[in-house]
Structure 1
Amino acid sequence: MPETIGFIGLGIMGQPMAHNLRKAGFPLIVHNRHPEVTEQFIAAGAQAAKSAREIAAASDIVITMLPDTAVVEQVLSGPDGVIEGAHDGLIVIDMSTISPVATRALAALLAQHNVSMLDAPVSGGDKGAIDGTLSIMVGGQKETFTRCLPVFQAMGTTIVHVGDHGAGQTVKACNQIVVALIFEAISEALVLGSKAGVDPARIIQVLGGGLAASRILELRGATMVAHNFAPGGRIRFHHKDLGIVLETARTYGVSLPVTALVDQMFASLELRGRGDLDHSALLTYLEDLSSHRIGSG
């Protein structure tokens, strides 16, 4: 009998992830602040709960996919939260991107209530969530990871146990450094090439066939050229993630000078009202600096 999954947080990423769990045959209970989304899941055969406490009481595994550390803490340990509905043997899998330090504290708190926790943030964007091809980096006890492996396999294809509690979030921080800096590099290249008179679509074509090729270029190159910034990963969330990165770097005495610079670029874009655009809209920051929109001649 498949484990009953309680899923909290049905946003851009959470919604397709939960659908893939349902398609894989897991009994699903959902909780979300937008009733129209919940109704879609009910129509597809899932159950709904009115609170995180209610979900925890009825589930074998609770998955959270939430915006930030504060919201995860509230859902897990706040009033009417998961802990209030916890039972022996319950597993919490937090697939949000939050602080590694907070993750370790939450894991210790949940353990006091005989609840195991895995931190399992993801990479792959909305397309990976829809296709079930996410990369999932998992921190926590190995035996808990092994029990939950079929759950992860319903949502992703690269699933790696990277260490103890907080290790998943640490690896996600590393991932967000690379993604942010690649977006910035692609943006510089497009603005330079376009202002010098080269068709940006041709630039993407050439970069994608050489050493500069990347998954980000493959997935977002054409949409950047088209100025299609419908969000797969929002600027404001990536800015939040880089805050976690820099906080972690300070904790361990690591210098991340270029990451700090891109963090400020995201901050500037948020101040300009672009926080809900896709993080590839970092391109617009570079366009503003050079007073040039790519492809405009």
Structure 2
Amino acid sequence: PKENGYQSIHVKLLPDFGRWQEVHISSEAMIRQSQLGCVAERNESNIQMWIEKFRKVLHDTISGAMRDDRYMEDIITAFYNDDIQVFTPTGKKIILPQNATAIDFAYEVHTDLGDHAKYVRINSRLEPVNTELRRGDVVEIFTEKDSHPEQDWQNFAHTFKARKAIRRYLESIPKAPYCRCSVCNPIPGEEVIGIRNHFDPELITVHKRDCPHAISMASSYGDDVVSVDYKADETLYPLTLKVKAVDRSHLFVDLVDCITNTFHLSMESFNTKTDRNIVVCKIRFGVHSYAELKTIINHISAIEGVDEVRRLDEDDELFDV
């Protein structure tokens, strides 16, 4: 039975007319308990287990520093009506809500496993941590000490335990004094200006000086333009370089070597298109500062056969030569 006492056998059949039909097989006692809830069978031990879990969830959600307006949502997510059973590599059964992901699985096993999850193997197949799980999956989580929850993990977490842990970690990260403009995507070291939100003076957005959006805002709210001290730190700022070169043997190896070995940066993607011995590459990775970006561009420009290296705007066409 599920945590709420529901118990039935679900079978899917494919009849001659070609549409899947789902059949639920239940005894009268199962149907009665499904309609009335776990209190229908007062002698069953699952009632006390359900009460204990409810007490624990209430305590966790409304006590301590994590108390906020979302505690009712957290309580609801902790008691799901439909669930799936998945397994650890050693055969331990883990019960999760339907649509749960490997992130939920990791936190259900142990908080540290979730906090440092890097990737996952589901039924021995390599998958990202946000992969949705199915009944019967065997899940193995792999960790790295430098891996931590990311902002979008909140979109893939479905259990109370995972949501709470992810939120706790994200709220522990020191907040940046500014936010970046999503149009021009400035990086430390570029000529930038700050524009204070006209309706929320505490919010300052950093723009490149030539950002069209910043120019438009400055013309309407000139008093909101402020100077900002936009310094480099350990943050990586994603960007895309377009490289145009004469195709040759080992060209791609040299490009990858320059970014990953020389500058020790990880690449997010590497796409190429070749036309009559002219190759155009789109390389996406993160840099710490504009000075670092210029150094990388100089190194790539010095590679044999490379003719052009430039940074792409977000809306640039990939192979707009």
Higher strand share: 2
Q: TM class, shorter-chain normalised? A: under 0.3
RCO higher in structure (CA 8 A, sep ≥6)? 1
Structure number with greater Rg is 2
The alignment's TM-score, normalised by the length of structure 1, stands at: 0.24
Higher helix share: 1
